[in-house]
Amino acid sequence: MIAIRTEREIALLRQANQIVAAVHAVLKDMIRPGVITREIDAAAEAIIREKGAVPAFKGYRGYPAATCISIEEVVVHGIPSKRALKEGEIVSIDIGVSYKGYFGDAAVTWPCGHVSPDRRRLLEVTDLALSRAIRAAKVGAFLQDISRAVEKTCRADGYGIVRDFVGHGIGTAMHEDPQVPNFDTGRRGPRLKKGMVLAIEPMVNMRSHEVVLLEDGWTAITADHLPSAHFEHSIVVRENGGEILSASRECDWGQRPG
C-alpha cells in the first residue's frame, strides 16, 4: 500500500531531506584529486549527527558506512575506504538520514577535476532525466510516466538504464512502496496522488545496462567496466509535478530545464 502523507508529515520529510542537501553541499567541495573516500564519509556522518539526525545507511542490512561513494564503473553502494579520488573520475555520493522518525535520501554524481567529454555528457543526461522524471510526477499521471521520462531521455544518447536497482517510496522507512523503475516495464502502475513521496533515482551506464555484484555483497559495477552516473531526489507528488524535498541552492541537480 502506498502511503499518502499529510502536510505535517511532508514538512518533517522536508526537514530530513534538507539535512541531506546540506551534507551534499559540503561534500561537493571535497571532490578533488587525492581526497580519501573514508574522509568524505566521516565528514558526512559528523554533519548528519550535528544536525540531530542519524545516518540511515549505516547498519542498514549490515552496511558499514554513512554514505555510498561510487566511483567510475561502480553503479551504486560503493563502500568508502582508503581509496583516493583521481583526476578525471566521476564520483557518485548517496546520502540517507533519519530525522524525527522520517527519512531523507538523495544522490548526485560529481566530476573530480576535469573529466572527459563523454563523462560530462553522461552526467548531464542523467541529471536531465531526473528533472524530466520529477516533472512527470504529477497528480493523475501514472508511475509509468516517471519511468518513461527517464528512459526516453537516456535512450536518445544510447545509454544503458540499470534494471537491477530502482527508485522507491520513502517516508517513515527508507524503502517503501512503490518501486520506481527507470525504464518502461510495459505496465502503467499506480495512479499518482497528491501526497505520495518518492525517491526518484536514475542510474545510467555509459553503454550496457548490465551490472555485476562484487563479493562484498554491496558494490555493484557495470558489467563492461564503463562509467555510470546516479542522481536522486526525494519528491512529493503535486498537481503540476514533483516538489523536490531535497533541493539545495548549492547543489541544484535534478532541476535542469528541458
Residue 56 has pLDDT above 80, yes or no: yes
The answer to whether residue 153 is domain-embedded is yes
For residue 79, give its domain range: 7-244
Q: For position 250, what pLDDT does the model report?
A: 75
Give the contacts of 177 (CB within 8 A, at least 6 positions apart).
Answer: 1, 2, 3, 168, 169
The answer to whether residue 252 is domain-embedded is no
Identify the bridge partners of residue 138 per DSSP, sorted by sequence position.
Answer: 238
* Model confidence pTM above 0.95: yes
The answer to whether residue 51 is domain-embedded is yes
| Encoded amino acid at 229, one letter | A
**How many whole angstroms separate alpha carbon 63 and alpha carbon 104?**
17
Closest CA to 251 of 132, 95, 97, 143: 95
Say how many residues make up the chain.
Answer: 258
Please state the rounded mean pLDDT for residues 50-72.
Answer: 98
pLDDT digits (tens, 9 = 90+) for 87-139: 999 999 999 999 999 999 999 999 999 999 999 999 999 999 999 999 999 99
**How many whole angstroms separate alpha carbon 172 and alpha carbon 195?**
14
Grid cell digits, residue 233: 531526489
**How many whole angstroms separate alpha carbon 102 and alpha carbon 176?**
12
The answer to whether residue 119 is domain-embedded is yes
- What DSSP state is assigned to residue 185? -
**How many whole angstroms separate alpha carbon 43 and alpha carbon 73?**
24
The answer to whether residue 206 is domain-embedded is yes
Give the contacts of 79 (CB within 8 A, at least 6 positions apart).
Answer: 63, 64, 65, 68, 69, 216, 218, 219
Instruction: Return the H-helix or E-strand segment holding 46.
Output: helix 37-50
The answer to whether residue 258 is domain-embedded is no
Please state the rounded mean pLDDT for residues 66-85.
Answer: 98
pLDDT digits (tens, 9 = 90+) for 155-193: 999 999 999 999 999 999 999 999 999 999 999 999 999
The answer to whether residue 96 is domain-embedded is yes
The answer to whether residue 253 is domain-embedded is no
Task: Please state the domain count of the chain.
Answer: 1
What end-to-end distance do the CA atoms of the chain give, in Å?
33
CATH code of the domain in which 226 resides: 3.90.230.10
